[in-house]
């Protein structure tokens, strides 16, 4: 293992170079053509993989040892976000309005590094490692489900993923069995009233006033209808209506998100929300449209596999390994967990001496020292899981 650690450490500049190249050339979900081509070229140069393209913008690399053993899948997401970058970095995005603001450039670099190190030690391993460079994590229905449907996880015994995490100090690793990331559902509401002159509100059915009532009442679902010890978030994030200060509009639009870990709570939320919306709209003489769209399933880590991950990483990193805090953010890694035992962990990227901008912020950046830690973690997990030949 000490040899592998030295090899990963020796790749520090390469990991940074890969990450910066990807950061400069971000691509949106389902559009990662150049990113996938870059990954395929790098893997081809390594010369040890069976490479396939199950979708137009994803890449799968199989490291087959030729000896019987287990099959482990390691996954990185490769897509970027529709954000105008404002970091001022020398390697800032060259694609206007597109930015790696969630660390996927780092995820890809770390998995490429693991590919390179593990390929050099194929003769010391058993079974197979399946490296998944996944497209479209940021946009439902998500790339993970497409890859599951394409059979990418057929025959896989376990799947492991990681996320660079601004919520943790750089180079620390967070592990947690059970619930880790929530189901990110969305909703859309349209309230149709009767517009008119703002000086004569009594002659209108004011959709803005009705919408405001709905926003307040929806918050009471979380504060008065759900056990305070149960994680549940309902956020209205968009309220659009009106064109002038003296005109009451005919309609308004509201959108937002619901986050929960429980399947039955997702079904309850859709029903309870519509009951609130219907009651308020009908009481005020308005009509409504309501759509509730289910997002990814919650990420729930397999206890046995997570115990293996924790033990392995504690042997590798000691006190740097800690308990990960659950988050109401979502992740389509959960699709893999429906077909194989899976666990997802966090690697910290927050610099202790600088301002930390959150994920999806125009100034989001990472501490690149974490790339070595994340790559080492993947290599350690793969070698321990597959064992020695």
Digit-coded pLDDT (tens) for 188-207: 999 999 999 999 999 999 99
8 A C-beta contact, residue 363 and residue 357: yes
Please tell me the distance from the alpha carbon of residue 303 to that of residue 339, in angstroms, as a whole number: 15
pLDDT at 2 over 90: no
| Average pLDDT value for residue range 315-320 | 97
Q: Is residue 79 among the annotated active site residues?
A: yes
pLDDT the model gives residue 265: 97
pLDDT above 70 as % of the chain: 99
Q: Give the model confidence (pLDDT) of 362-375 as tens digits.
A: 999 999 999 999 99
> What stretches of the chain show up as alpha helix (H) in DSSP?
2-10, 12-24, 33-46, 104-119, 143-149, 207-224, 263-283, 303-317, 369-386
- What residues contact residue 74 under an 8 Å CB cut-off, 6+ apart? 111, 114, 129, 130, 131, 132, 159, 160, 161, 378, 381, 382
Return the ∠ at Cα 103 (arms to 385 and 101), rounded to 5°.
160
Q: Give the model confidence (pLDDT) of 96-143 as tens digits.
A: 999 999 999 999 999 999 999 999 999 999 999 999 999 999 999 999
Band (pLDDT 50/70/90 cuts) for residue 1 is: low
Separation in Å, CA 385 to CA 74, 142, 382: 12, 28, 5
Q: Is residue 154 among the annotated active site residues?
A: no
8 A C-beta contact, residue 373 and residue 317: yes
Please tell me the distance from the alpha carbon of residue 23 to that of residue 15, in angstroms, as a whole number: 12
| Average pLDDT value for residue range 333-359 | 94
Catalytic residue among 27, 32, 85, 137: 137
| Average pLDDT value for residue range 269-295 | 98
pLDDT at 215 over 90: yes
Band (pLDDT 50/70/90 cuts) for residue 4 is: confident
pLDDT the model gives residue 388: 58
pLDDT the model gives residue 3: 73
pLDDT the model gives residue 49: 98
3-state secondary structure of 149: helix
Average pLDDT, the chain: 97
Q: Give the model confidence (pLDDT) of 49-98 as tens digits.
A: 999 999 999 999 999 999 999 999 999 999 999 999 999 999 999 999 99
Catalytic residue among 7, 27, 79, 185: 79
pLDDT the model gives residue 356: 87
């Amino acid at each position: 293992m000490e040899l592998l650690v030295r090899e990963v450490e020796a790749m520090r500049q390469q990991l940074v170079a890969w990450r910066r190249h990807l950061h400069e050339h971000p691509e949106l979900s389902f559009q990662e053509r150049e990113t996938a081509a870059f990954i395929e070229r790098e893997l081809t140069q390594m010369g040890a993989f069976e490479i396939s393209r199950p979708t137009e913008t994803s890449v799968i690399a199989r490291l087959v040892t030729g000896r019987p053993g287990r099959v482990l899948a390691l996954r990185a997401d490769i897509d970027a976000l529709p954000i105008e970058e404002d970091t001022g970095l020398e390697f800032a995005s060259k694609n206007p309005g597109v930015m790696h603001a969630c660390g996927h450039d780092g995820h890809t670099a770390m998995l490429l590094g693991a590919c390179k190190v593990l390929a050099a030690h194929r003769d010391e391993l058993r079974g197979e490692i399946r490296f998944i460079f996944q497209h479209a994590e940021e946009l439902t229905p998500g790339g993970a489900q497409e890859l599951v449907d394409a059979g990418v996880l057929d025959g896989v015994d376990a799947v492991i993923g990681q996320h660079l995490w601004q919520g943790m100090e750089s180079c620390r690793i967070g592990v947690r069995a059970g619930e880790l990331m929530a189901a990110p559902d969305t909703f859309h509401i349209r309230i149709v009233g009767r517009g008119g002159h703002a000086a004569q509100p009594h002659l209108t059915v004011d959709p803005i006033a009705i919408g405001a009532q709905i926003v307040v009442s929806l918050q009471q679902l979380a504060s008065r209808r759900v056990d305070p010890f149960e994680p549940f978030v309902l956020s209205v994030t968009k309220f659009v209506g009106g064109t002038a200060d003296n005109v009451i509009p005919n309609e308004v639009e509201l959108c937002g998100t619901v986050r929960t870990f429980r399947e039955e709570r997702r079904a309850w939320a859709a029903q309870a929300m519509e009951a609130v919306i219907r009651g308020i709209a009908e009481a005020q003489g308005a009509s409504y449209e309501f759509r509730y769209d289910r997002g990814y399933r919650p990420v729930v880590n397999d206890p046995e596999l997570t115990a293996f991950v924790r033990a392995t990483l504690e042997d590798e990193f000691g006190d740097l390994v800690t308990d990960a805090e659950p988050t109401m953010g979502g992740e389509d890694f959960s699709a893999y967990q429906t077909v194989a035992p899976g666990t997802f962990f966090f690697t910290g990227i927050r610099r202790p001496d600088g301002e930390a901008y959150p994920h999806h912020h125009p100034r989001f950046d990472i501490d690149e020292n974490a790339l070595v830690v994340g790559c080492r973690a993947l290599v350690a997990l793969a070698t321990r899981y597959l064992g020695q030949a």
